[in-house]
């Protein structure tokens, strides 16, 4: 990427509306009313941002040079399925109304109509994001369909099985999944996988199995081993699912400060896959997240991937917060009381005047996916109560 393009990218992204960011003391917890207001504003944004075909996001509103010089229509279809899956899960978890239910149904219908995602080109494997979040949205929907609606249940079940089959076909020799394959562009499946994409795929497969879908045990074992192999002695998880991951340089992405967005999802995936992870280790991961949070703050909304300290990217932000919420919900009550207000604060502070939250400018996908992740964090923070869940455990 040349210097001229970098200069264009740096000026092409809209600036954050700072007036929309709540001003508060560093340690002041948001009130329940503030959290609920943020949820209402975020939900209203999603309802207004849905496309006519039921999806969220599109190739419109591209910042010059960021997407259009390499992405193609199949790339965008994959991003749209992933974004729509997240938005559906966010709407399903909130307060219901006729408008919310209608938007949700249109979104699920869009996902069902687009389970046949293809690899966009020889090195772009963004179809994986469509598989993992399309899978999770449909599995979630399967649990919401009335038993007597046999036709709908059959259609959604077919969609789930289609995504599972696609993940099996695209599971790399390392056992995981990645979203690019620039290092070996001719293989089918690709050869490159990442710890966090693999962890998300593993969570989706575990959800599907819990819903009664047949999942090959070998598929789960290979994915679990890939995530486990990425765990490093310094408490981080390596970015890539290499045969022998290392911490790399002292300023690299495999340091804890560069792994903040990955630690929670990887711990969660291993925990749910049946690995015994002490509560203290989960707490250490969450403590890292908040202690070093400034490195996520600095990266958020930067237009160039991995340009921030420790190679953090803007799109690590809400991804990391969403899975941090799921880990926090499994901690003892006293820790949940400590961590929930911190997490609420880091999400609410990003909300803009239109109700959206975004961390990376990626056509018109960034605002809906960021808002969806954020809504699910805030929803879970309100419904979770001390002593309402076990401290830890697998499926």
Pick the most confident of 11-25, 322-336, 374-388: 322-336
- pLDDT for residue 391: 43
**Contact in structure between 65 and 8 (CB atoms under 8 Å):** yes
Q: How confident is the model at residue 69 (pLDDT cuts 50, 70, 90)?
A: low
Q: Which of 214-218, 315-319, 380-384 has the lowest mean pLDDT?
A: 380-384
Q: 150-163: per-residue pLDDT in tens? A: 999 999 999 999 99
Asked whether the predicted pLDDT for residue 17 surpasses 50, the reply is: no
Instruction: Calculate the average pLDDT of the chain.
Output: 90
More confidently predicted of 236 and 303: 236
- State percent of the chain over pLDDT 70: 87
Query: Can you tell me the mean pLDDT for 247-262?
Result: 96
Q: How confident is the model at residue 28 (pLDDT cuts 50, 70, 90)?
A: confident
The top-level CATH class assigned to 25-383 is mainly alpha
3-state secondary structure 348-382: HCCCCCCCCCCCCCCCCCHHHHHHHHHHHHHHHHH
CB atoms within 10 A of CB 238: 24
- pLDDT for residue 394: 59
Of 327, 335, 320, nearest to 260 by C-alpha is 320
- pLDDT for residue 7: 38
Asked whether the predicted pLDDT for residue 183 surpasses 80, the reply is: no
- pLDDT for residue 387: 42
Query: Can you tell me the mean pLDDT for 129-155?
Result: 96
Both tokens of 184, joined, read 């070996």
- pLDDT for residue 63: 58
Query: Can you tell me the mean pLDDT for 288-292?
Result: 98
- pLDDT for residue 122: 87
- pLDDT for residue 25: 55
- State percent of the chain over pLDDT 90: 80
How is 40-64 classified by DSSP, letter by letter? HHHHHHHHHH--TTS----S-SPPT
Q: Which of 16-25, 106-115, 334-343 has the lowest mean pLDDT?
A: 16-25
Q: Which of 15-19, 191-195, 249-253 has the lowest mean pLDDT?
A: 15-19
Asked whether the predicted pLDDT for residue 390 surpasses 50, the reply is: no
Q: How confident is the model at residue 293 (pLDDT cuts 50, 70, 90)?
A: very high
- pLDDT for residue 26: 56
- pLDDT for residue 185: 67
Q: Is 71 helix (H, G, I), strand (E, B) or coil?
A: coil
Contacts of 154 (CB under 8 A, 6+ apart): none
């Amino acid at each position: 990427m040349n210097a001229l393009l970098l200069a264009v990218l740096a000026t092409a992204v809209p600036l954050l509306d700072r007036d929309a960011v709540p001003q508060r003391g560093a340690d002041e917890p948001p009130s329940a009313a503030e959290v609920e207001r943020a949820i209402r504003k975020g939900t209203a944004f999603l309802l207004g941002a849905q496309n006519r075909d039921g999806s969220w996001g599109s190739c419109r509103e591209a910042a010059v040079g960021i997407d259009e010089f390499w992405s193609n229509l199949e790339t965008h279809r994959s991003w749209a399925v992933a974004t729509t899956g997240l938005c559906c899960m966010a709407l399903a978890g909130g307060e219901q109304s006729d408008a919310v239910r209608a938007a949700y149904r249109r979104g699920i219908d869009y996902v069902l109509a687009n389970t046949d995602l293809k690899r966009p080109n020889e090195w772009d494997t963004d179809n994986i994001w469509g598989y993992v979040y399309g899978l999770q949205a449909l599995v979630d929907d399967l649990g919401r369909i009335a038993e007597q609606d046999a036709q709908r249940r059959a259609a959604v079940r077919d969609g789930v099985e289609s995504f599972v089959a696609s993940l099996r076909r695209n599971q790399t020799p390392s056992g995981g999944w990645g979203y690019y394959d620039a290092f070996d562009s001719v293989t089918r499946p690709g050869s490159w996988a990442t710890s966090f994409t693999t962890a998300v795929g593993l969570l989706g497969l575990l959800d599907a199995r819990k819903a009664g879908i047949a999942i090959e045990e070998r598929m789960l074992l290979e994915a679990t081993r890939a995530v486990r192999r990425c765990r490093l002695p310094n408490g981080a998880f390596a970015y890539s699912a290499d045969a022998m991951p290392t911490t790399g340089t002292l300023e690299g992405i495999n340091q804890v400060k560069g792994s903040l967005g990955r630690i929670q999802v990887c711990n969660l995936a291993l925990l749910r896959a049946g690995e015994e992870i002490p509560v203290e280790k989960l707490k250490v991961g969450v403590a890292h997240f908040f202690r070093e949070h400034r490195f996520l703050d600095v990266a958020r909304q930067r237009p160039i991937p991995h340009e921030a300290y420790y190679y953090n990217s803007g799109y690590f932000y809400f991804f990391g917060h969403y899975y941090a919420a799921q880990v926090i919900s499994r901690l003892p009550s006293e820790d949940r009381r400590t961590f929930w207000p911190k997490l609420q604060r880091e999400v609410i502070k990003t909300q803009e005047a239109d109700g959206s939250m975004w961390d990376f400018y990626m056509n018109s996908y960034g605002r809906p996916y960021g808002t969806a992740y954020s809504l699910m964090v805030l929803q879970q923070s309100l419904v979770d109560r001390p002593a309402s869940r076990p401290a830890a455990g697998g499926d």
